[in-house]
Structure 1
Amino acid sequence: MSNQLLQRSAILFALLSALLFFILSSWAMMEYPGGTIQDRATEGYSFWNNYFSDLGRTRSWNGAPNALSSRLFQAGLVTVGISLGAYFLVLPAIFRTAKARFLAAIASMLGLMAAASYIGIALNPLNVNYRLHTLFVRAGFIAFLAMSLFYTLSILNEPGYPKHYARAFAVFSIILGIQVVIMLFGPRSWSSPGALLLQASAQKVVVYAEMVCMVYQGVGAWRWISLRDHPDRRP
C-alpha cells in the first residue's frame, strides 16, 4: 500500500467514524430510559441536562436497564478512538518540512492519548468505575486541546498548506479551552440544576464542535495531499 493510499484510508476512516458516532449517539439518546443526576424521575434523554456519559451507563439514572443505549454509545466511541488513532499515526507524514513534521509528531502523540482516553471512557461506564471514567474524560479533553494547538502550529509551519485550517483549529481550541476550564473549575453538576445545565451544555457544544472540526480538518488533509503531490494544481 502506497503512503498516499494509507494516508487517505486513515482520513476516510476518521471521517466515516465521526458520522457513525453522530448516528449511534443520536440513536442511543432515543433509547435512554431517563433520569439525570439532578432528577431521577425524568423520562428519556434530556439534551441539555444529560451528559454523553449517561448514554454509556449500564443503568440509567432512573434505575432502568440501559443495555441498548450503552452498547450503541460504546460502539460509536470505540470506533472513534480507533479511527483517530489511525489518523494520528499517519498525520506527521502528510507534512513536508522538518519543523511541521516535528510539531505534527507532538500533535500525534497527544492525539493518540486522546484516542486511547475515548476508548477508556467507552469501556468504563460512569456507574461502574466513576474514578477511571472521569480520569479518561479529563485526560481526553485536555490531550485533545493540546493536540489542537500543536496541529495548528504544524499547519502554520507548512508552506502551501491553506491557513484557514489553522484558523479553524485555533477557534476550536478556544471553545475547547473554555470547556476544559468549566469542566475542571466550574460548579459541580450535582450541586444545582443550573450547574448541571452549564456542565452538560458545555460538553455538548464541544463534542459537536469537535466532530465538525475534525471532519473539516480531515477534508483539509485530503485536499492537502493532492496539492502536495501535484503542485501544478494549486490556485
Structure 2
Amino acid sequence: MKNWRRIGAIIGSIGCIEFVIFSTIAMFFYGGGTSWDKSAEGYTFWHNVLSDLGRTISYSGVPNTVSSPMFNVALSFFGICIIVIYLSMGKNFLRPYWLMLIILIGGIISGTGIVIIGFAPDDILSNYHMLGVWMWALPLFAVSLLFIINAVINRIYDILLFITSMLAIALFIHIGQGVTGMWSPIVAATQKIVVYLNITWYLWICRKISAQEITTFS
C-alpha cells in the first residue's frame, strides 16, 4: 500500500508538470483573439483564460488545430491524475477518518470536473464546460478549507498551510467573480493565479505523500 501511495504521488506530479508544459506550448499555437478583443494576435497571457486554448475555433475565427487537442488532452489527463492524488493520500493522511473521507469525495468530484472541462470545449459544449468548472472549483474550495481547519486545530503552521491559505483566498475571489457574473480581463488573471496555485498545492501534497509525512490529530 505504501508503494502504491508513492507511485500515486509520482503519477500526480507528472500530471501537474505535463499540464504546465503542454498548456504553455499550446499558447504558442492559439489562433488569436480574446473574449474582449477578437482582433488580438496570439494568446494574451493575462487576457485569455486557459479554456480559450481548448476552443475548437479561436475568438479570431482561426481553427485551434494544434492548441485545442493538445490542451484538452493535457487537461483531461491532469484531472485523472488529481483523482489519483486523492486516492493515494490514504485514510490516515488526515485524521479522523471521516475528515479524510470528505476530502476524498470532494477531491474526486473536483478532478472529475477538470476531466469534463477537457472533454467539453467552451465554444461547442458551453453548458457542460461550465458544469465542469463549478465541479472543479467548489469542492476544491471546500477541501482547502478542511485542510486549513485541520492545520489550525493541530497548530501545524507549515508551508502547506501557507499555500493552502493562498489557494483558498484566490478561489474565494474567483468563485465570487463567477457568482456575480463578472467577466473582464481581471477574471482571466485571477484564473491563472488560482490554477498555478492549485498546481503548486498538488505538487506539495505529492511531496508529502511520497515522503509519507502523515498529519494526524493530536
Q: TM-score scaled to structure 2, two decimals?
A: 0.90
Corresponding residue of 1:50: 48
Structure 1 residue corresponding to 2:201, chosen from 202, 213, 221: 213
Residue aligning to 1:147: 143
CA contact (8 A) 2:88 2:209 kept: no
2:196 is aligned with what amino acid?
Y
1:218 and 1:155 mapped to 2: Cα distance?
17
Of 91, 111, 115, which aligns to 2:111?
115
Instruction: Report whether the alignment pairs 1:183 with 2:183.
Output: no
Q: Distance in 2 between matches of 1:14 and 1:27?
A: 20
Gaps of 5+ in 2: none
Higher-Rg member (1/2): 1
Match of 1:131 among 85, 102, 127: 127
Aligned sequence identity (%): 26
Deviations 1:129-174 (A, max 9, x none): 1111112112211111112122334556679x77442343133212
The 2-side partners of 1:118 and 1:33 are apart by: 23
Residues of 1 paired with 2:29 and 2:159: CA distance? 39
- Count of aligned pairs: 214
Check conservation: 1:156, 1:163, Cα contact below 8 A: no
- RMSD, aligned α-carbons: 2.0
Q: Which residue of 1 aligns with 2:39?
A: 41
Question: Counterpart of 1:216 in structure 2: which amino acid?
Answer: W
Q: Which has the higher contact order (CA 8 A, sep 6+)?
A: 2
Compute the TM-score of the two structures, normalised by the length of structure 1: 0.84
Q: Which has the higher helix share?
A: 1
Residue identity matched to 1:58: T
